Every structure is written in C-alpha cells, then in structure tokens.
Structure 1
Amino acid sequence: MTAVLKVENLVKTFGGVKAVAGVSFEVAPGELKALIGPNGAGKSTCFNMLMGQLKPTSGKVYLNGENITGRPPRDIWRRGVGRTFQITGTYQSMTVAENVQMALMSHHRKLFAVRPYAYKLYRDEALALLDVVGMADQADRACAILAYGDLKRLELAIALANEPTLLLMDEPTAGMAPRERINLMQLTADIVRDRGVSVLFTEHDMDVVFAHAHHIMVLNRGELIADGTASEVRNNPQVQEVYLGGGTLYEQETADA
C-alpha cells in the first residue's frame, strides 16, 4: 500500500545551522501520527517544508506517490493536503459559515468570481462540515465572539474543505483548556476513522499524544531519534533522556487503547 506521505532524507539549513538533519518517515493511509520533540527540535520547520512554506535544502517529499518537493503551498493544498496552525487565522468579521464557504469557494475555484450572491455559494457544504466538528449551531455567529476552543474547531472544518487525504496539524491543542484538548483530539481521531484521512500532528501535551496517536516520532536537534508505538517511544532511553533527563515518561491506562 502506497504511503500517503513519504519523506526521504529531508534537510533544511539556515546558514551554518541544520534545523532538520536528514529526516525520513512515512504516514500510512488512515494513520494518526504524532511528531514530538522539545522546543527548537525542528518540528515546525519540518511542517513548513511539507506544506511548501519552506523549500528543503535537500531531500524529497512524496504525496500519494507524487513528488511535491518545493511546490508552493497552493499547489500542495490543491493536491489534498489540509493544515491547521498553532495560532488560528480566521476572518474575524465573517460568520462561522462564511469562513468555511471561503475555503470551499477556493477549493471549487470560485474565489475570484465576485458575485452579489457569493454568500449563498456552498452554504450546505459548509454546514455539513460544521456539523462534522460540532459547530453547525453556531454557523451564523461572528468569529470575533467565538471562544478559543470553538475557533480551533472551526479551523479544523476549514482544513477539511479541500477534501484532504492528509491533514497537517501544528500544535492543535495549544492554548486550550484540558477538557477542550481531549475533545478536539477525540474529534480528530473520529475524522481519521470515519473519513480515512491521514493526520500528522505536532504536540507538547504528552497525555494527548499517548492517548490518540497510532505512532509517534521524536525529533531532537533536527534529527529523528525514535519512531514507533506509544510503548516503544515511552520506553526508549534516548527519548527519556531528552524529555526527563533519564526518567520514565508518564504511562496512563488508556495510552495504548
């Protein structure tokens, strides 16, 4: 089975600093995979190369077997990669539904077709996506008055507008309350199961990672030092040294569920 995402020896240097140093991995169809590591490990740099915001110094990125290395973000998005960001970026003056409609208009190449009835375009599709993330009842609310957790769910609906086969989520639970974090990642896991979307996400909350990720990768100083199941990563001596100075990563009862 062809990997949805395949990364081969990805490198990014800034002057004499090697931010990402020969990283290789795959994300399988329907897989929820985490990329973790301490601050400065290279996670965001890696994500930005996958989505085209940064061009790799060397290495290859394949999406469903196609080489997408160095392509601009719009091309990658049109090939079926969605992304959410650590800091949400919705249109605050628009309603919840209108934000999703904008993404749908872009997906259907209607974004620059200025028409007086544009507000009606893809309204039903937008409501369907909002229903997926539990936001349909807030469709006509202005984004400016939404709670932060609701903005994160809205961003997820927007990321699904281009019918992605791969979803990149950069710190999806950053700034959220503990209960909101659990709910958002459970929602993501449900989308993986129901829609067959592959997800690669970065995260600092280890409870979230161990509870939901099928497999976990660990970056440290730009190098991939571990790639395995939650149990394999938790018991990896090098990972323990990076995170806890040789201690043992916390093991919860549901970690391998």
Structure 2
Amino acid sequence: MTLLRVTNLSKSFDGVKAVDDVSFDLAAGQLLALIGPNGAGKSTCFNMVNGQLKPSSGSIRLDGVELVGRRPREIWRMGVGRTFQIAATFNSMTVIENVQMALVSRERRLFGLWKPSASWHADEAMALLEQVGMAEHAGRACGVLAYGDVKRVELAIALANRPKLLLMDEPTAGMAPGERNELMALTRRLVTGRKIGVLFTEHSMDVVFAHADKLIVLARGRLIAEGDAQTVRNDARVQEVYLGTGRSFTPRAALEDGVTL
C-alpha cells in the first residue's frame, strides 16, 4: 500500500531549479534511500517532505492527504517523524528524560506539566529504550554517551510519536562501519513490524545497498534512476555521475550472514 506519494515536485531558488519535476512513491514498511552527489537536490527534496521548505510546484501526499502548505509541527502530528544528520538530543537531560519529553509532546501536554518528571510516561519510555538497546543507559546524561548510542536514543525519540513515515537525514553520519550497519539493521527490525515507511538520505553506499528496499537517485535536481539495489548499481547514468566505476558493494544477504565491510 502506498504511504507517501510525491508527484511532479519542484523547487527553485532565484530561478535555479534545485529540484526539478521529481516523482516517487513509498510503501508502508519500506525503506527508500534518496541518494545523489553533492548538490543533487536531496536535502531540498527531503525538507519539502518535512514541511521545512514549500515547493514551487508539485504534490506530497501522506495516506492520500496533501502535506504541501502545512507547517512542520502539523506534519509531525500527522505521523511524520524525523532524525537528523547531527543527532538532536538534550545533552544535559538523561536518556529516559529525552524520550519522555517526546512522549509528553505527543500528548500535547508541554504546557501542563505538574507531575514530577520521573512519572511522565516512564514505562512507555523504558519500553522504547529496550527496543533500541539503550535501557541500561536510561539514567545517564545524553551528553556523556558515545555517538552511536546517541543515534539510538534519537531513534527512540522519533518512534515515540508513533509515526507512519520516518525521515532519516544521513542516519549513520559520523559512525564506524560496524555501527552504521547495526543501526540500520535495528531500524529495519523496528519499522517493518510497525509498517512505518522510511525515507532516508545517506552517503555511505555500503549502507544504502545493504539496507534499502528501493533507491531513487537525483542529479542536478532531476530523478535519473530508481529501483532496487541491483538495478541502480548497474545503471550507466548512476555509475557515471555518482558511483564511479570498479567499486563493489556488499549485499544485504552477506551482512545478515555476518560479513563485515
């Protein structure tokens, strides 16, 4: 079932088209990678889906409901979660408090906090931390965590809103190869069962080809290729403008069998 449908999406800045007539679909439970070289229009496209930028033209529909013209906060409340290239957590707060704040926000109670903070959705927050493997760090400040662990906390925060669609902006940036694939494997396990669609940008091609169900490739604002990993990897235009030649990538099956990159 189609969850997200982007149709003829365009965005211009001072007459320069950063995104030019881009269309794609994302199904519930699917991981869709949006890739391309620097300046391809990935971030612009990504930020239009999130409501941070307004398209010059085109349509973005979530479960058939138009998102264009809505504010990011409204889009978040409609079931669109997001993680960021630089993890966005409150460093001085504990791990569980970060997740609790997301849960309180979901319930629209930010301006009516009268209970002690330790009681705010504590059980649900701990359940989310268990799912991302961070329960044992619940009482630690986020500011002292290793970066890979902060990324796991950010994933729990994003899931706290019970999203239909999760936008992940370079989710493995700054992580070691082993950590990158662990995080994306964890993401797949968590979103597949919930039927959450994932749209993510990523510069690590090993991660993309190992974990994406489908890829779309942009170059100079236009969609030049789409399909599964094999289709995109063998596309001559992709090889020319982005991947180069002569490089091999480890498929998901090999990673599941324990092969390291």
- Report SS of the residue matched to 2:129: helix
Structure 1 residue 112: deviation in Å? 1.3
1:250 paired residue number? 248
Q: Which amino acid aligns with 2:113?
A: V
CA distance in 2, matches of 1:172, 1:22: 26
- Report SS of the residue matched to 2:239: helix
CA distance in 1, matches of 2:137, 2:191: 24
CA contact 1:234–1:249 (8 Å) conserved in 2: no
2:133 paired residue number? 134
CA contact 1:240–1:248 (8 Å) conserved in 2: no
1:206 paired residue number? 205
1:143 paired residue number? 142
Q: Deviations over 1:30-79 (max 9, x none)?
A: 10110111111111111110011111111110001101112101110001
CA contact 2:168–2:199 (8 Å) conserved in 1: yes
Q: Which amino acid aligns with 2:216?
A: M
TM-score normalised by length of structure 2: 0.94
Structure 1 residue 18: deviation in Å? 0.8
CA contact 1:218–1:239 (8 Å) conserved in 2: yes
CA contact 1:165–1:197 (8 Å) conserved in 2: yes
- Report SS of the residue matched to 1:240: helix
User: Do the aligned partners of residues 254 and 94 (structure 1) sit closer, same or farther apart at CA in structure 2, a change above 3 Å counting?
Assistant: closer
CA distance in 2, matches of 1:253, 1:214: 11
2:9 paired residue number? 10
TM-score normalised by length of structure 1: 0.95
Q: Which amino acid aligns with 1:243?
A: Y
CA distance in 1, matches of 2:137, 2:13: 44
- The number of aligned residues is 255
User: Do the aligned partners of residues 240 and 255 (structure 1) sit closer, same or farther apart at CA in structure 2, a change above 3 Å counting?
Assistant: farther
CA distance in 1, matches of 2:252, 2:158: 28
Q: Deviations over 1:191-243 (max 9, x none)?
A: 12222211111101111011111111101111111110100000000000012
CA contact 2:205–2:249 (8 Å) conserved in 1: no
Structure 1 residue 255: deviation in Å? 6.2
CA contact 1:167–1:199 (8 Å) conserved in 2: yes
2:259 paired residue number? none
Q: Which amino acid aligns with 1:203?
A: E
Q: Which amino acid aligns with 2:222?
A: E
1:197 paired residue number? 196
Structure 1 residue 254: deviation in Å? 3.7
Structure 1 residue 114: deviation in Å? 2.8
1:26 paired residue number? 25
Q: Deviations over 1:174-199 (max 9, x none)?
A: 00111110110110111122222111
CA contact 2:209–2:251 (8 Å) conserved in 1: no
CA distance in 2, matches of 1:230, 1:244: 12
Matches within 5 A, 1:44-63: 44-63=43-62
Structure 1 residue 17: deviation in Å? 1.4
- Report SS of the residue matched to 2:133: coil
2:89 paired residue number? 90
CA distance in 1, matches of 2:247, 2:4: 28
CA contact 2:152–2:183 (8 Å) conserved in 1: yes
- Report SS of the residue matched to 2:38: coil
CA distance in 2, matches of 1:97, 1:251: 37
Structure 1 residue 117: deviation in Å? 1.8
Q: Deviations over 1:63-108 (max 9, x none)?
A: 0110111210111000111000001111111100000000000101
Q: Which amino acid aligns with 1:195?
A: R
CA distance in 2, matches of 1:86, 1:254: 23
CA contact 2:29–2:193 (8 Å) conserved in 1: no
Cα RMSD (Å) of the superposition?
1.4
Q: Which amino acid aligns with 1:252?
A: T
- Report SS of the residue matched to 2:217: strand
Q: Which amino acid aligns with 2:114?
A: R
Structure 1 residue 249: deviation in Å? 4.6
CA contact 2:81–2:163 (8 Å) conserved in 1: yes
- Report SS of the residue matched to 1:7: strand
Identical aligned pairs, as a percentage? 62
